[in-house]
C-alpha cells in the first residue's frame, strides 16, 4: 500500500492500512476451536495472535482429586484422534512409579494398539491437508480404513473414540480371536488402500503446489520452539521417543524413523505417510512375536493395582480384599516424582507425576505436544497467504482438546 490513494478521508478517521480478521474460533476450516486474530494486508498475513483455552477443562486440577485408575478417561480427551496412546502413556507412567514389570505379551499388545492409533491419527491429519487444499476424495477414502481400526478398538475395549483402553498393569480382558482376525484383515487390506491414497496426493501437481514451501520452519527454530513428533522430524531431526527413550518393548522392533528436510507442509505430510508404513511393519512384527508367547497373559501380576476377576471377588478371600483395597484407594503408592513420555500421534506426550503417597496424584502435568508447538504458528504463517495459513494449521496436527487440556 505504498501508493497514496486519492481518497480524502474525513478528519479524525483511522488511517489504517491493514485489516483485522478473526479466523475462528468456529470457522469450519480450523478443524476445532482455534481463534487467530490476524492482521491482514490484502491476502497476506502480517501478524497473528492465537487465542486458546476455549475448551479448557482443568484436567490437571481434576486429576489431583481422582484415584490413579480414574485419570485414564481424562487422558482420552487430550488428543482424541489417538486416545489409546494417551491411555497407555498414563498406564506406563503409573507402572513406572510403582516399579511394575510387565510381561512381554502385554507390551506387544500395547504396541499393536498404539501403532494402530498412530495410523488413525496420521490418516486424519494427512487426509485433512487434502481437504484444505481442495481434494475431498482422499479424506472419504481413508476414513473407510480408519473405521477398520476403530472396529479393532471396539472389539478390544468396547469403545471407539475415547477408548479408556487397558488398565494399570495390562488390559482389562484378553484379546479375542476376533480381534486378531480384525487386525489381520486390516493388515491385508490397508497397504493397498494406502498406496492408492499416496498415489492420489504424493505427486499431485495441485497438492504439491499448495504445500511445498508453505509453512516451513528451520530445524533450529523448531527445536527452540519445542517441536516434537512428525513436525520436528520433517525438519530433519530424528527425535522419536520410541527410539530415544524406548518404552513398552519398542527396542525389540525393527523400524526406521523417517525424516524430512525443509519442514514444510509437504514434508510433514510425507513424514507421516512414511511413518504409517513403519507402523504397519511394527504391527506385523508384533503379531508375529505374540504368536510365540503364552496366549493367556494379558496383565502383569500386580494384585495391589490390577482389579481381580469379578468371579474371584465373590469366591476368593484374597481377591475380595484386593478388590476392596483398590476401589477404596487403600493401596500403598510410593511417593516420588516420575516423568514418562510416549510418542503420541503429534509428538512427545509426557506425564509429569508427583506422588506424595496419597490415593491421587499430588500434581500431574501433561506435556502436551501441540500446546507447545502451536505457539510457533504466528511465526510460521507471517508473510504467507490466508489460504496457506489454513493448510499450515491442519498440517501441524493441532488438536484443540490437547492444547486446552
**Residue in 27, 44, 96, 316 binding other proteins, rule: CB under 8 A:** 96
What's the count of helices (H) and strands (E) in the chain, helices before strands?
17, 6
> Under DSSP, is residue 228 helix (H, G, I), strand (E, B) or coil?
coil
CB of 405 to other proteins, least distance (A): 8
| Distance, C-alpha 190 to centroid of its chain | 20
**Residue in 307, 350, 394, 399 binding other proteins, rule: CB under 8 A:** 350
CB of 362 to other proteins, least distance (A): 8
**Residue in 17, 26, 43, 58 binding other proteins, rule: CB under 8 A:** 58
CB of 375 to other proteins, least distance (A): 5
**Residue in 43, 65, 256, 330 binding other proteins, rule: CB under 8 A:** 65
* Residue number, 96 or 325, with CB nearest to other proteins: 96
**Residue in 338, 359, 382, 385 binding other proteins, rule: CB under 8 A:** 338
Q: Is 70 in the site for other proteins (CB under 8 A)?
A: no
Q: Is 223 in the site for other proteins (CB under 8 A)?
A: yes
Buried b (16+ CB within 10 A) or exposed e, 298-309: bbbebbebbbbe
| DSSP sequence for 140-199 | HHHHHHHHHHHHHHHHHHS-SSS---SBTTB-SSPPPHHHHHHHHHHHHHHHHHHHHHHH
CA–CA separation, 221 vs 235, rounded Å? 10
CB of 176 to other proteins, least distance (A): 35
| Distance, C-alpha 106 to centroid of its chain | 21
Closest CA to 106 of 175, 58, 55, 47: 175
Site for other proteins in 359-388 (CB under 8 A): 362-363, 365, 367, 371-372, 374-376
Binding-site size, other proteins (CB under 8 A): 39
**Residue in 73, 236, 303, 336 binding other proteins, rule: CB under 8 A:** 336
CB of 363 to other proteins, least distance (A): 5
CB of 326 to other proteins, least distance (A): 21
From the CB of residue 97, how many other CB atoms can be counted at a distance below 10 Å?
A: 22
How long is the chain? 405
Q: Is 61 in the site for other proteins (CB under 8 A)?
A: yes
CA–CA separation, 151 vs 182, rounded Å? 8
Closest CA to 271 of 178, 175, 343: 343
**Residue in 131, 208, 354, 386 binding other proteins, rule: CB under 8 A:** 354
Handedness of CA 154, 109, 95, 400 (dihedral sign): negative
Interacting residue ranges for other proteins, rule: CB under 8 A:
52-53, 56, 58, 60-62, 64-65, 96-97, 221, 223-226, 237, 239, 244-245, 336-339, 348, 350, 352, 354, 362-363, 365, 367, 371-372, 374-376, 404-405
Amino acid at each position: 500500500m505504498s501508493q497514496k490513494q486519492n481518497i480524502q478521508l474525513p478528519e479524525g478517521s483511522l488511517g489504517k492500512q491493514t485489516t483485522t480478521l478473526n479466523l475462528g474460533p468456529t470457522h469450519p476450516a480450523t478443524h476445532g476451536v482455534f481463534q487467530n486474530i490476524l492482521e491482514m494486508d490484502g491476502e497476506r498475513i502480517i501478524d497473528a495472535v492465537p487465542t486458546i483455552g476455549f475448551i479448557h477443562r482443568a484436567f490437571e486440577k481434576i486429576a489431583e482429586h481422582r484415584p490413579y485408575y480414574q485419570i485414564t478417561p481424562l487422558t482420552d480427551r487430550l488428543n482424541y484422534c489417538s486416545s489409546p496412546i494417551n491411555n497407555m502413556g498414563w498406564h506406563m507412567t503409573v507402572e513406572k512409579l510403582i516399579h511394575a514389570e510387565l510381561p512381554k505379551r502385554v507390551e506387544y499388545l500395547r504396541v499393536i494398539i498404539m501403532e494402530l492409533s498412530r495410523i488413525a491419527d496420521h490418516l486424519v491429519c494427512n487426509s485433512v491437508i487434502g481437504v484444505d487444499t481442495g481434494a475431498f476424495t482422499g479424506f472419504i477414502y481413508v476414513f473407510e480404513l480408519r473405521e477398520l481400526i476403530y472396529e479393532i478398538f471396539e472389539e478390544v475395549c468396547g469403545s471407539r473414540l475415547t477408548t479408556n483402553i487397558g488398565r494399570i498393569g495390562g488390559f482389562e480382558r484378553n484379546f479375542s480371536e476376533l480381534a486378531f482376525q480384525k487386525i489381520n484383515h486390516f493388515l491385508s487390506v490397508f497397504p493397498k488402500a494406502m498406496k492408492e491414497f499416496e498415489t492420489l496426493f504424493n505427486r499431485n501437481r495441485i497438492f504439491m503446489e499448495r504445500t511445498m514451501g508453505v509453512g516451513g520452519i528451520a530445524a533450529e527454530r523448531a527445536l527452540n520452539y519445542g517441536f516434537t513428533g512428525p513436525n520436528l522430524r520433517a525438519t530433519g531431526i530424528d527425535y522419536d521417543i520410541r527410539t530415544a527413550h524406548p518404552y513398552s518393548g519398542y527396542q525389540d522392533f525393527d523400524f526406521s524413523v523417517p525424516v524430512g528436510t525443509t519442514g514444510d507442509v509437504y514434508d510433514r505430510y510425507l513424514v507421516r505417510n512414511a511413518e504409517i508404513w513403519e507402523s504397519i511393519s511394527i504391527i506385523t512384527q508384533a503379531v508375529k512375536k505374540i504368536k510365540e508367547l503364552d496366549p493367556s497373559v494379558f496383565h502383569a501380576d500386580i494384585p495391589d493395582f490390577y482389579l481381580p476377576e469379578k468371579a474371584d471377588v465373590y469366591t476368593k478371600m484374597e481377591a475380595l480384599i484386593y478388590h476392596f483395597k483398590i476401589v477404596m484407594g487403600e493401596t500403598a503408592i510410593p511417593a516420588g516424582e516420575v516423568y514418562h513420555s510416549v510418542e503420541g500421534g503429534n509428538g512427545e506426550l509426557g506425564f509429569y507425576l508427583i506422588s506424595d503417597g496419597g490415593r491421587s496424584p499430588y500434581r500431574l502435568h501433561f506435556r502436551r505436544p501441540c500446546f507447545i508447538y502451536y505457539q510457533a504458528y504466528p511465526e510460521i504463517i507471517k508473510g504467507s497467504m490466508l489460504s496457506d495459513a489454513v493448510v499450515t494449521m491442519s498440517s501441524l496436527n493441532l488438536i484443540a482438546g490437547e492444547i486446552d487440556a
